[in-house]
Amino acid sequence: MNEARVSTTDPQARVMKMPDRGFRPAHNVQLATDVESQVIVGVDVINRGTDQGEALAMEEQVARRTGCHPGAYLIDGGYVDLEDIQILERREIKVYAPPKESHKTVTWKPGTRPELVAWRERMETDEGKTIYRHRASTAECVNALARAKYGVQQFRVRGLLKVTSVALLVAITHNLLRWASLTA
């Protein structure tokens, strides 16, 4: 019985693996955060359990909202997609993301895209590893606040558009609190 199943309460939700190792219908909220201010600069909601391939779309959203491409981009290891990294590096955005285990042992062949070689070499340096560690104090901190302080444990609305609206309201709330804290 491998029939496709959908949630009877929210057909746009997809069954995803949860931190408690269970599986439930859910939405995957994506946030982009400025490292220095911890201001949320990008919000998206998808109905796939994987983040892979989302880095480029989020960077483009951030560029539209802020009017410029970031000089550097710290992304979670789950976002690593070689095609995305190549495009971001071509835009002169230094990507800081841990190579997947399979990428760590790869011997790059002659003709490998120079953008990918530059990213991998950057991530093997002490400086690259130090810069990447800042992700925990920004993105993970904001995600923890969303769960603990703003109550985003479970959505009480149904559908991608409504869940996105809630995620945007959380971002606005967070950013107003950051503004108050940064200007105090």
Cβ-based neighbour number of residue 61 at 10 Å: 16
Q: What is the reported pLDDT for 135?
A: 84
Give the Cα separation of 41 and 96 in Å (integer).
18
Residue 104 has pLDDT above 70, yes or no: no
Q: What is the reported pLDDT for 134?
A: 84
- Cβ burial 164-178 (10 Å sphere, 16+ → b, else e): bebbeebbeebbeeb
Let me know: does 24 contact 49? Beta carbons within 8 Å: no
DSSP state of 94: E
Distance of CA 113 to the CA centre of its chain: 24
**What are 137's two structure tokens?**
């104090």
Closest CA to 75 of 91, 59, 104, 55: 55
The most confident of the ranges 48-57, 104-113, 167-176 is: 167-176
Q: If DSSP codes are grouped into helix, strand and coil, which group holds residue 162? A: helix
Q: If DSSP codes are grouped into helix, strand and coil, which group holds residue 40? A: strand
What's the pLDDT tens digit per position in 124-138? 999 999 999 888 888
Q: What is the reported pLDDT for 168?
A: 96
Distance of CA 19 to the CA centre of its chain: 17
Q: If DSSP codes are grouped into helix, strand and coil, which group holds residue 119? A: helix
Lowest-pLDDT choice from 39-43, 146-150, 162-166 = 146-150
Residue with tokens 């309201």: 169
Let me know: does 171 contact 31? Beta carbons within 8 Å: yes
**Mean pLDDT over residues 105-111, rounded?**
62
**What are 146's two structure tokens?**
């969303």
